[in-house]
Amino acid sequence: MTESLKFVKPRFVPPLDESFRPAVLANRAFQEEIEDARVGVPLLLGLERADGSVSRFETKVFPDTHPRATANLTYAERLVKFLLWQRGGWKVYVGGPKSIGNYIKKCYAPDGERAFDFYFMGEEVYEKTFTVVPCAPSKVPVEQEREQALGRHLDGYRIGFDLGASDLKVSAVVDGEAIFSKEIEWEPRKQTDPQYHKDKIMAALKMATSKMPRVDAIGGSSAGVYINNRPMVASLFRGIPKERFDEVRNMFLRIRDEMGVPLEIVNDGEVTALAGSMALEDNGVLGIALGSSEAAGYVTLRGNITGWLNELAFAPVDYNPDAPIEEWSGDRGCGALYFSQQCVFRLAPKVGIEVPGDITDAQKLKFVQEKLEAGHEGATKIWQSMGYYMGYAIAHYADFYKLKHVLILGRCTSGKGGHLILDGANEVLKAEFPELASQINIQLPDEKSRRVGQSIAAASLPAIN
């Protein structure tokens, strides 16, 4: 292969996906190739967010004059894609060879291959026109990362909730102890009327309220991008017509006013990481929730959160050119199809498991999980595949996060499945990435925390005035 990036076959092949080509192996092979050739030139990527904060990522590529320079394009585009969804940004500086900057600008254009990302990151999230700036490395702005404290308030009578695509979890928490937790099935993505969402959430809050003498504060988590308690984009509200989305944007502000207490809602990944940090009493935590999609959040080594998006559901982990396509973004090999119930549904037909079509997604997952618990060989291979996916993905994530702990939880990790994922991930790290295996602790929370831990941690978000 003389022109394209080399896609490396893993030592641990997922039992149901022989064509899986981990991003981390391709990237490392590319860097080794550059090092051996001793011709590498800098590529410096800068991502600017609406608040003026800037992330930077530095690597090396072939010079434009080198015969292997074409491989730079795929390598750089996949890096930009990952960084956009991990860190976020409305403006991307591409400091390096001109061919790379021009290629990224062409891809991330209104009519380009990454038009979804152009509109999502620009208009929908940061409310600006998405911009790519090809430039020299010296012209990339200096890094300006920002951190802030999140949650950890345990006093008083609190409600925590977590909005998933297949269930709504709610907890009543008194002085840091959950006295009541409930999972409620719902189907928010299919609804076109925002009142459906508001009614379901209010009913859950009132249920939790009935378990305590009063309510002092409410904290929530949800998939999507939230800024100042307002969802900018969220898959839960995918069915809402654009002309009615303002009702969604202000919904939690209205709920706060109706309940008459402080309310904070943030991305569910942030709460996943917060829950892990609180439970472990340590920092440097990446939380990964395997539910209806993949949710992720990060607590820094200083115990804070960043202004990053951490939407790893849309970040590529598989470089196989024929990897499955994520339905919303239209891109291939993204995390949502490897670390969620979508992965279970994708792999089930390969082992002859026919999932009923006339039930909710939560019930579909339970249907396959029951086969797993009963010892079904094919169902076991589904979760073994997810374990190998996870091992290579964690190694990939470690190139972008400073990690001490990875906490995996969510509905897909219930029962035997969680241990199969954990065992597979550890097997990959110990054999392929021993240096990471010695640095990163991967673990599952206990069964109850695995399913409702996010709503309990969410309760700690607001400070009581």
- 142: number of Cβ within 10 Å: 7
- Among 142, 172, 205, give the residue marking a domain's end: 142
Residues 317 and 443 occupy one common structural domain: yes
Question: Within this chain, do residues 77 and 105 fall inside the same structural domain, yes or no?
Answer: yes
Q: Give the E-state strand segments of 96-166 in sequence order.
A: 131-135, 147-148, 157-163
92, 170: one domain: no
Q: Evaluate if residue 435 carries a pLDDT over 60.
A: yes
Sheet holding 41-48, edge to edge: 54-61, 41-48, 91-95, 131-135
Shared domain for 167 and 310, answered yes or no, is: no
* Contact status, residue 52 vs residue 7, Cβ threshold 8 Å: no
C-beta of residue 124 within 8 angstroms of C-beta of residue 88: no
Q: Assess if residue 30 is contained within a domain.
A: no
Domain end among 210, 242, 262: 262
Q: Which tens digits make up the pLDDT trace of 224-257?
A: 888 889 898 888 998 999 899 989 999 999 999 9
What is the end-to-end Cα distance of the chain in Å, rounded? 63
Instruction: Flag whether 339 is in a domain.
Output: yes
Q: What is the pLDDT of residue 165?
A: 83
Q: Are residues 187 and 51 in the same domain?
A: no
Here the CATH number for the domain that contains residue 235 is 3.30.420.40
pLDDT tens for 281-301 read 899 999 998 988 998 999 999
What's the pLDDT score for residue 289? 87
What pLDDT does 355 receive? 96
Q: How many domains does the chain have?
A: 3
| Residue 35 φ/ψ, nearest 5 degrees | -65, -40
**Do 126 and 166 fall within a single domain?**
no
Is the dihedral angle over the CA atoms 232, 236, 350, 425 positive or is it negative? positive
- Residues 73-110 have pLDDT tens digits of 999 999 999 999 999 999 999 999 999 999 999 999 99
Residues 132 and 154 in one domain: no
Residues 12, 84, 271, CA angle at the centre, nearest 5°? 80
Is 381 within a domain?
yes
Same domain, 331 and 435: yes
Residue where a domain stops, chosen among 204, 229, 262: 262
In a domain, 324, yes or no: yes
Same domain, 295 and 157: no
Q: Indicate whether 115 belongs to any domain.
A: yes
In this structure, are residues 4 and 67 in contact, taking their beta carbons and an 8 Å threshold?
A: no
Give the residue among 217, 202, 107, 208 at the shortest CA–CA distance from 156. 217
Domain of 440 in residue numbering reads as: 271-456
Domain membership of residue 351 (yes or no) is yes
Is residue 10 situated within a structural domain? Answer: no
Pair 297, 427 in one domain: yes
* DSSP structural state of residue 142: P
Instruction: Return d(Cα 397, Cα 400) in angstroms, integer.
Output: 5
pLDDT digits (tens, 9 = 90+) for 338-395: 999 999 999 999 999 999 999 989 899 999 999 999 999 999 999 999 999 999 999 9
Two structure tokens written together for 62: 């072939």
Do residue 303 and residue 236 come from a single domain? no
Residue 148 is predicted with a pLDDT of 85
Q: Both tokens of residue 144?
A: 């300006």
CA distance 29 to 323: 19
Does residue 224 sit within a domain? yes
Pair (340, 430) in one structural domain = yes
Q: H-helix or E-strand containing 91?
A: strand 91-95
